[in-house]
Chain A
Amino acid sequence: MMVWDSWSAFWAMGGRGFFVWGSYGVLALCVIAELVVLSRARKRALLAIAEDNPTE
């Protein structure tokens, strides 16, 4: 059960799709960017410790 008659009505958001999806889209971009930056920073930190301490 949902409030929309169709998917196109959902994406249109009553003619306000630009504002609604512009908001949700930028939030999604921010979250993805933060996750990528966090993972890269963690890998860099682990790599730095591994390079300081070669196993060989």
Chain B
Amino acid sequence: MAASEQRSHDRFAGRWFWRYAAPSQFYPLAGRIEILCWAIAAVLAVTGLYLGLFRAPTDFQQGEVYRIIYIHVPASWMAMIIYLAMAFWSAVGFVFGTRLSFMMSHALAPTGAIMAFVALWTGALWGRPTWGTYWVWDARLTTTLILFFLYIGYIALAAAFDDRRKGDRAAALIAIVGAVNVPIIYFSVKWWNTLHQGASVRPGGSSMATIMLTAMMIMTFSFWAYSIAAAMRRVRTLILERERDTAWARSLIGASTSGRHEATAMKAR
């Protein structure tokens, strides 16, 4: 038993992804990913907004209001993708009991909630001039609203327990069970009669003009990079909060002049 445990430990220890499962190891890596992703997000946002707002032509049916698409579609996609990522890390946390997995899941939730909110808000402002209403209880809109509430429920549940492990697991359960909603959102425009238009982009083709599609995809990658950067920043803070009693965290604040500097600057206020 002990020998096999030792063997499996050796097997795992040799793999880089197990090494980075340790919060202290992941912290500096997350910092580098964060910086890189902020830069990518900014460059792509400027490019995408330039193409979408200044170069893409007026839509022959909808006029200028269609330009909401450059943020509405990326936000809607990210709301779904982030939820799936959250469910994934929650499941990993459940199976392996790794601390960092739950932190990753927690770090994704607020950004996902913001994406869902932006999707609903921009959708309402797009719906009014094109459908004549801000809101309608149809399948796509209702399931997206449910997604938003799932995020809120997850965040509330994670914070509701005094015992952190219980909060982690209860929230993870919501994330995993709620994931069934995501494919329902995606296919809702096919399965039900809905005011919402069908997918403009699907595997094997698109019904959009090339420059519009290009701008939308660039904006999507920008949102993607932004979400990763925000999640990395949040997970680093979570690591600091949860590992504050460890020697590693102490050495971090002692060694890192920027951390010490930031902290003393705060204290001086």
Contact = CB atoms under 8 A, between A and B. Distances in A.
Interface of A: 1-4, 10, 13-16, 18-20, 22-24, 26-27, 30-31, 34-35, 38, 41-53, 55
B263 A47 contact: yes
B193 interface: no
Interface residues of B, number: 47
B118 A42 contact: no
19 contacts: A10-B54, A13-B64, A13-B67, A14-B64, A19-B128, A23-B121, A26-B118, A27-B75, A38-B234, A38-B237, A46-B263, A46-B266, A48-B240, A49-B253, A50-B259, A50-B260, A50-B263, A52-B250, A53-B253
Q: When A and B form their complex, which 9 residue pairs have the shortest distance between CB atoms, in order from nearest? A: A50-B263, A14-B64, A45-B240, A16-B65, A23-B122, A2-B54, A13-B64, A19-B125, A46-B263
Given A13-B65, A42-B262, 17 more contacts: A2-B54, A2-B55, A3-B58, A4-B54, A18-B125, A23-B122, A26-B118, A27-B71, A30-B114, A30-B117, A31-B226, A34-B111, A38-B230, A38-B234, A42-B237, A46-B262, A50-B264
B40 interface: no
B71 A24 contact: yes
Main secondary structure of the interface of B (DSSP, over half): helix
Given A1-B55, A55-B254, A23 B71 contact: yes
Contacts of A27: 71, 75, 118, 122
Main secondary structure of the interface of A (DSSP, over half): helix
Contacts of B111: 34
B213 interface: no
Which of B54, B125, B254 gathers the greatest number of chain A CB atoms within 10 Å? Answer: B125
A19 B117 CA distance: 16
Contact of A46 (B118, B126, B233, B253): B253
Contacts of B267: 47, 50-51
Interface in B101-159: 110-111, 114, 117-118, 121-122, 125-126, 128-129
A40 B252 CA distance: 19
B184 interface: no
